[in-house]
Structure 1
Amino acid sequence: MRFGSRAAARCAVGVALVPVAISAAVLPAAASPRDQAAPSAQAQEDRSHGPAIRNGLRTVTPDDLVIGTAVAGGGHHVNAGYPDPFTRDPRYRKVLATEFDSVSPENQMKWEFIHPEPGVYNFGPADAIVAFAERHGQVVRGHTLLWHSQLAEWVTEGDYSDEELRAILKDHIQTVVGHYKGRIQQWDVANEIFTDTWEGDEIRLRPQNVFIERLGEGIIADAFRWAHEADPEAELFLNDYAVEDMGPKSDAYYELAKKLLAEGVPLHGFAFQAHLDLQYPFPETLDENMQRFDDLGLETAITELDVRFTLPESGVPTAEQLAEQADTYQGVLEACLSVDDCNSFTIWGFNDRYSWVPSFSPGQGAATVMFEDYERKPAYWALHETLAEAKAGR
C-alpha cells in the first residue's frame, strides 16, 4: 500500500519514526498545503538557518541501500536568478550533508562543463562535490560519459575523421574516470542511447549521438571498456528515462545488456532515471522490470527520480497533488526495495527552487520533496517512513 492511501490515518496519529510534526507535514485533503494557521515546530525549523533535521533520510536508510540526490549546479542554473546553490547556499549544503549518503553532480561532470575545450579539463566544480562527499561520508555517482546532449561545441562542430572522433571519446572517458579513480562508486557510462519513438516493437539507437552515429554500436562496448581500464573498481551503468515500465524501450536495453554481458563487457548495472509526471499512470511493472535486469546479474538503481505535475494558476500545489506525488515517490522506492540488488536510490534534487523541471516543462513544477524554503513535503515523509520500515525489517 502506498502513501496516499494512508495519508488520512497518518494525519491523525503521526509517525513515531519521525518528528511529531509529521501530522502537520502530511496535510488533510481539504487543507491548502501552504495556508496553515500555525506552522509546526518542524516547519519553523525547516524555514530557519538553524540545525538540519536530526534524523534525516540517510539515518533511516537500510545498510544495503544508499539514498542520494543530484547536486545542483551548471545547466539551467547558470542563467537562473540565484547564485550557484552548492557553492553559495549554506542551508543547501547543510541539508545535502545531513539527508543523503550519495550525491550525483547534476551537470558538473557533463562534457560541456568538464571538458569545454580540446585538451582543457575543468575539474574544479566536480572536485568540490567529490571532496564534500568524502568529508561527509557520502559516495558519488558519476554522471555522465557517453551522451548526445550537453556536448561541447568543439566536439559537435569539429571536422574530425572517425579515427579522431574515437580518440577524442577515449581520451575524455579515460581522463575523467581516471581523475576520480577510487573516488566514484558508480558511473553512468552510456546515457539515453535509444530513441523515444519506435515502429511496432523496433527501437533504434539515437541518431543524435555523434559517436554512435559515426562509429557504430560497438562504441558503446568500447566506452565501458575504457571506463573500466581507467578505474577497475567503479561500477558501470547504462542509464535512461522512460524505461520504468516493461515495453519496447526497456526491452531494447534488456537485449543490449544481455549482448554486452555475453561479450564480456564490464557492464555492472542498469539505471532507471524515473522522471515521472502525474498526468501519466504510475509504472506498475517497474518492480518486475527491475527484477529481470537483476536476474541477469546486474545491479539496478533509481538515479534521477522526480515527480512533476501541472501547477494551479496560483502556483501552489493542492493537497491532492502533494498526496499523489507522495504516493508516486513511495511506489518507486518500494519497487527498488523489492529487488535484491537495487542498491542506489537517487532523487534528482530536493528543493523546488533549484529543480530543473520549470525550465524545461513550463507550467509544471514542485517536483522535489521540499518546498523552496526547505519545508518537507508529504513526499519526503513518504520516503522517510518507507525507508525506516525497511531498515527495521532487515
Structure 2
Amino acid sequence: MPNRRSVLTMLGGAAGAVLLPNLAGAAGTLEPLKDIAARKGMRFGCAVGWHGGSSFAESDYGRLVARECGVIVSENGTKWPALQPQPGPHRFGAADEMVAWAKRSGMLVRGHNLIWQSRRWPPDWVNQYDFGASPAQAAERLMTEHIKAVCTHFGREMFSYDVVNEAVDPKTGELIGNVLSQKMGVIEQIDLAFVLARQYAPGAQLVYNDYMGPGAGSAKHRAGVLALLSALRARGTPVDALGLQSHIGDMLPHTATAAGSEWRKFLDQVTDMGFDLLITEFDVNDRKLPADISARDAGVAAIARDYLDLTLSYPRCRDFLLWGMADHVSWLQHWPDAVRTDGLPQRPTPYDSELRAKPLRDTIVQALKFMPPRANSAQGQLYRPADR
C-alpha cells in the first residue's frame, strides 16, 4: 500500500508530469495489456455493459476493449434478474450476442454471477415465490433449474463463474441470508450453488467473489470471508478461487502501510487454504483526491501501484479484470457513495472519456511486467483451468 511519503509526493502539482510518463496518443501505438499479461501466464480483461445489438462492438470503445483484453465479463447481462426476469425460460439473446462477439475477437468469457447473495438481487418473482409445504425442496429446485439452465446453455463458452457473489455482511462479518437460504440454511445454500455449478459446468473455474479490501474498516469483512472459505473447505465444497473485486481508493496516507500488512496477511491465509486468487473488478475511487487532473491521476496511479505490486506478487493470482476500461463507462460515475464533493467526474480507469491513456495504464503495465510468472507460463502459454 502507498506509504505517506510516496502518496504525498505523487499528489504534488507537478508529480504527474515528473514521476509518471506522458501517455497521450492513440491506444494503437501501445502494446496491448492482454499480451503483456499473457507473457507472465495471466489473463487480462474487463467488464462490458452489453445491451444487445452491435453498437457496442462497433464503437471506438468496443474496439479498444477488444484490442486490450483477452477476457470479458458482463456487468449485468448474465445475472439472474437479466436472464430470467419472469418465471419460465431464460432469455439468453443479449448474452449470446456478447459471447459471439468475444469469440470473434479472440476473447474468453467469465460468468457473473450465478447467485448474488444479497436479499435485493434475486429476481423479484423469486423473492415473492410461494415455496409451499416443502420450502427447502422448492428452494433447491429453483436453484437447480437456474444454475443448470445457465451452465448447460453456455457450456465451455464460460471458462469461469462467480458462483456466489458477496455473501458476507461487511459490517458484521456474518453470512447474508436471502429468500433461498431462509428455506435451507445459508451455508447449505452457498454449498449447493457450488455443487450444482460443478455438476453442470465441470470444466469451469468456480469462484467466490466479494469486495473486502485492505483498510481497517474492512477487518470484519475479511474475517467473515476467511470464515466462509474455511467452512466451505471443511465441507468439501468445490470452490477453486477467491475473487478480489478490488474497488480500491479512499486509502489515506496514514493508514496505507498498515492496510498493506493486513492485506498480505489476508491473502496469505486464503492461499494457504489452497485457493487461487483473481482480481475481478478493479478500479480506483478518486473521490478523496484533489480536483487537479494531473495530481488526481498521479494519486490514482500511486494507490494502484502499491495495491497491484502486492496483490500480483502472488503467483496464484492468474486473472486480472477491470470494471470498465474508460472513465465514461465506469459505474462510479453513478454510484451515490462515489460522488465527489466538488461534483467532478471520477477518473478511475486506465483511459479517460476520450479514450486517451492515463498514468494508471502505465502503472498496470509496470505491475504486469514485474510480477512473478504464473504457473504454466513458459514460452508465453496462457494458464487455463485444468479440465475436471
TM range (shorter): 0.7 to 0.9
| Aligned counterparts of 1:360 and 1:10: Cα–Cα separation in 2 | 27
The answer to whether structure 1 residue 329 and structure 2 residue 304 are counterparts is yes
Q: 1:367 aligns with which of 326, 340, 348?
A: 348
| Deviations, residues 75-116 of structure 1 (Å, cap 9, x unaligned) | xxxxxxxx9896365211111111111111110111111111
| Aligned counterparts of 2:354 and 2:264: Cα–Cα separation in 1 | 33
Q: Which amino acid aligns with 1:334?
A: D
TM-score normalised by structure 2 residue count: 0.81
- Where 1:195 maps in the other structure, the secondary structure is coil
| Aligned counterparts of 1:189 and 1:331: Cα–Cα separation in 2 | 29
The answer for the alignment partner of 1:112 in structure 2 is 81
The answer for the alignment partner of 1:267 in structure 2 is 239
Gaps of 5+ in 1: 14-21, 26-39, 47-51, 75-82
The answer for the alignment partner of 2:362 in structure 1 is 381
The answer for the alignment partner of 1:338 in structure 2 is 313
Q: Is the 8 A contact 2:84 2:90 kept in 1?
A: yes
The answer for the alignment partner of 2:380 in structure 1 is none
The answer to whether structure 1 residue 171 and structure 2 residue 145 are counterparts is yes
Q: Is the 8 A contact 1:273 1:304 kept in 2?
A: yes
Q: 2:203 aligns with which of 233, 236, 245?
A: 233
Q: Which amino acid aligns with 2:49?
A: A
Alignment of 1:118-157 (within 5 A): 118-147=87-116, 148=118, 149-157=120-128
Alignment of 1:286-325 (within 5 A): 286-310=263-287, 317-325=292-300
The answer to whether structure 1 residue 158 and structure 2 residue 129 are counterparts is yes
Q: Which amino acid aligns with 1:120?
A: P
| Aligned counterparts of 1:6 and 1:60: Cα–Cα separation in 2 | 25
Q: Is the 8 A contact 1:254 1:293 kept in 2?
A: yes
Q: Which amino acid aligns with 2:280?
A: T
| Aligned counterparts of 1:223 and 1:135: Cα–Cα separation in 2 | 31
Q: Is the 8 A contact 2:17 2:294 kept in 1?
A: no
CA 158–346 in structure 1, closer or farther in 2 if over 3 Å, else same: same
What is the aligned-residue RMSD (CA, Å)? 2.9
Q: 1:67 aligns with which of 44, 47, 56?
A: 44
Alignment of 1:94-113 (within 5 A): 94-113=63-82
| Aligned counterparts of 1:351 and 1:84: Cα–Cα separation in 2 | 21
CA 279–387 in structure 1, closer or farther in 2 if over 3 Å, else same: closer
Alignment of 1:211-290 (within 5 A): 211-217=180-186, 218-244=188-214, 247-278=219-250, 280=252, 281-282=255-256, 283-284=259-260, 285-290=262-267
| Aligned counterparts of 1:339 and 1:312: Cα–Cα separation in 2 | 28
Gaps of 5+ in 2: 341-345, 378-388
| Deviations, residues 174-206 of structure 1 (Å, cap 9, x unaligned) | 1111211212121111111111212xxxx3211
Q: Which amino acid aligns with 1:63?
A: K
What is the CA-CA distance between 1:131 and the residue it aligns to? Answer: 2.1
What is the CA-CA distance between 1:9 and the residue it aligns to? Answer: 8.8
What is the CA-CA distance between 1:350 and the residue it aligns to? Answer: 1.1
What is the CA-CA distance between 1:247 and the residue it aligns to? Answer: 2.4
Q: Is the 8 A contact 2:326 2:353 kept in 1?
A: yes
Q: Which amino acid aligns with 1:299?
A: D
TM-score normalised by structure 1 residue count: 0.80
Residue correspondences, number = 349
Choose 288-297 or 2-11, whichever is displaced more. 2-11
| Aligned counterparts of 1:206 and 1:55: Cα–Cα separation in 2 | 43
- Where 2:209 maps in the other structure, the secondary structure is strand
The answer to whether structure 1 residue 92 and structure 2 residue 69 are counterparts is no
Q: Is the 8 A contact 1:306 1:347 kept in 2?
A: yes
CA 193–254 in structure 1, closer or farther in 2 if over 3 Å, else same: same
